[in-house]
Structure 1
């Protein structure tokens, strides 16, 4: 062990890597932790994996490149990332990893999800469906499409069944395409501002090729559009006005309803990750928040908090990221303000009215039906808010670190 407490010899876990512009993305697919390294950092990892000790790796790097890298400090950072399996011959303790869902599903079994023929087929189906909608008035979609029967309970039942099925298929598509690249993936509850969402953590997909990354990001949207297209094509084959015709069109519109939410990139939706990838940003959301906070301080002429950077944080970013981060910061502030304004003006008053009315009806006990109705409101609406809070607290503790330079 060196004088600084850093081990002299280390054995690294299996690490995946790919070149990204003038840097290397290196990480562990098993844990979803990854980091951006300069060429010198990648060279140190190669030397350590070749069996050189920590001092030998530093000496070899200086001999080959002339760069004087603090390899012991670098190795300490690798240990913090849980990239080191053994130090001086002893196993390095690491956090226990939960088995991923569908653990028996291997990458080669779902490799077909990455085939370029799939998006081409989905695009063909979508184009055919849109063409039919344009030429056949009986296939037009509006709010009345969802009201396919006069029985409200059946309308709600179909909407719930189709909506939850589509949601699970949407997230399963993310999981399968990520698994095909070797990323385990995990489906879990999460929050986006005031919204409770089902989401798939595919941390580690950054190590895949760009085509595979974009496929994984857009897999869910592709599923929604494919279901929409298939439902429209099936409805076109049914007699207009019949029950199958009306039900299929209701399913088609239900498949489209979640897609506007994906355009809210200020909440890190599927389209956000596409945008982040195409702009080449490491942490578009985090850097956008930092720049928005800096701009707000300047506007209000306030001093930064202790420990916060005093200057423009975007000035430290590469030029290709700087403009994207500043534009995104505007979208982030405006979008967040609109969502929270809607929450304050519409959602909270409506929920408080329902909850207070339920408490009043429950305490008065005027009739059995009013008591049952009030209990249902308290259980479902109150439970939803409690679930949101619990999920919000959990995700804040477990949120994966964004890709940063090391």
Structure 2
């Protein structure tokens, strides 16, 4: 459908909220959100007043002399976003998607507010300081790579790790859910995937209904619950017998929680802390713009171009340094925990098991562990080759 300056444009119902630097536009039908500068909001207001397009462009040029005004281009962008209702009275078909967020709506707002209020955030921070103090006072509490080996058999260790990880992830996500409900917003936990691995993640799309100063507790809700788990697991070790099974489980809980908290600082991934940084700076394409900034020296980091608004350049440069620091942190965690764990498991458990009789459970424990290693390596190689095929 051709659009001219004589065309009459009618938009769908949109809700506009002022953000830190620009505006958040909500498509009320789908619940989708878009960031737009002030000039676009003014254009939307004029369109809703049925002002002719030629007059809109003239007015915008007068009011925003430093902006490159292109009303026709903006209309085409609105069409791509499916925010146009009619052109010259002819309805525009759209691929309607309703993002339902009905799960957990029975959780009362008061319960969420009990865990997330002006006082609780300070308490969570104090618990983090207390956990640090416990480790400094008793360095034996600091998690070590060997804490994963609670049992003599690897299949038992793997099973224990999977069960504990699942429970702790559920607690983490429920922290997000309660934080969302504390603001009276709908929340749900979705099943997603990272390549072949199933993950749980809380739908945080409704966070854009809130002003920026209220969003951080929703992003940090999971980490707050992690901090509580870390403190309780550390404090409980003080009164537990050193060589007991309970102590082994507590150490595994600390190790699992500690690593996940550290990984939150790896902001080269979109972690909870990454979204806090985005929210604090008001730059909502920080990762993409940061990668493209680094692509000047590291071309393989380049991603499709995203818009960088005026004044965001300094935040992008700062984030780029955090991006590289996050990669370094990941390498350190791998070298300190994961590689030693693998070496220990191979030398102390898997290889000795192959010298046991074929009827021995230790022999078959080694076989299962070896198959797990080969499966992980196979998936890793497959993901690399798949990525190479798509990039080429």
**Common fold: TM-score over 0.5:** yes
1:358 maps to none
2:23 maps to 24
Q: Select which of 44, 48, 52 maps to 2:49.
A: 52
1:77 maps to 77
Q: Provide the C-alpha distance between the structure 2 equivalents of 1:29 and 1:132, rounded to a whole number of angstroms.
A: 49
Partner-residue secondary structure (3-state), 2:142: coil
TM norm structure 1 = 0.65
Asked whether the equivalents of residues 116 and 179 of structure 2 are also in contact (C-alpha less than 8 Å), the reply is yes
Asked whether the equivalents of residues 189 and 196 of structure 1 are also in contact (C-alpha less than 8 Å), the reply is yes
Any idea what the Cα deviations from partners look like across 1:192-247, whole Å, max 9, x if unmatched? 9x9986544534534532232221222222111111112334444x4544654554
2:12 maps to 12
Partner-residue secondary structure (3-state), 2:192: strand
| RMSD of aligned alpha carbons | 5.0
* Higher RCO by CA contacts (8 Å cutoff, separation 6 or greater): 1
1:361 maps to none
1:382 maps to 375
Q: Provide the C-alpha distance between the structure 2 equivalents of 1:64 and 1:331, rounded to a whole number of angstroms.
A: 38
1:266 maps to 268
The CA deviation at 1:78 is 2.2
Matches within 5 A, 1:174-193: 174-178=176-180, 180=183, 182=185, 187-191=190-194
Cα 1:109–1:10 change in 2 (3 A) is: farther
**Unmatched segments (≥5 aa) in structure 1:** 298-304, 355-365, 398-406
Q: Provide the C-alpha distance between the structure 2 equivalents of 1:120 and 1:329, rounded to a whole number of angstroms.
A: 30
Matches within 5 A, 1:43-192: 43-48=42-47, 52-53=49-50, 55-56=51-52, 59=55, 66-67=62-63, 70-71=70-71, 73-84=73-84, 88=89, 90=91, 92-97=93-98, 99-100=100-101, 102=103, 104=105, 108=109, 112=113, 114-135=116-137, 137=138, 140-143=141-144, 146-147=148-149, 155-178=157-180, 180=183, 182=185, 187-191=190-194
Q: Provide the C-alpha distance between the structure 2 equivalents of 1:139 and 1:338, rounded to a whole number of angstroms.
A: 23
Q: How many correspondences in the alignment?
A: 358
Partner-residue secondary structure (3-state), 2:319: helix
Cα 1:385–1:205 change in 2 (3 A) is: farther
Q: Provide the C-alpha distance between the structure 2 equivalents of 1:64 and 1:317, rounded to a whole number of angstroms.
A: 18
Any idea what the Cα deviations from partners look like across 1:265-289, whole Å, max 9, x if unmatched? 1223222222233333232211122
TM norm structure 2 = 0.67
Asked whether the equivalents of residues 110 and 177 of structure 1 are also in contact (C-alpha less than 8 Å), the reply is no
Any idea what the Cα deviations from partners look like across 1:133-185, whole Å, max 9, x if unmatched? 555x4973343655556676655443322212112222333344346474756
1:318 maps to 310
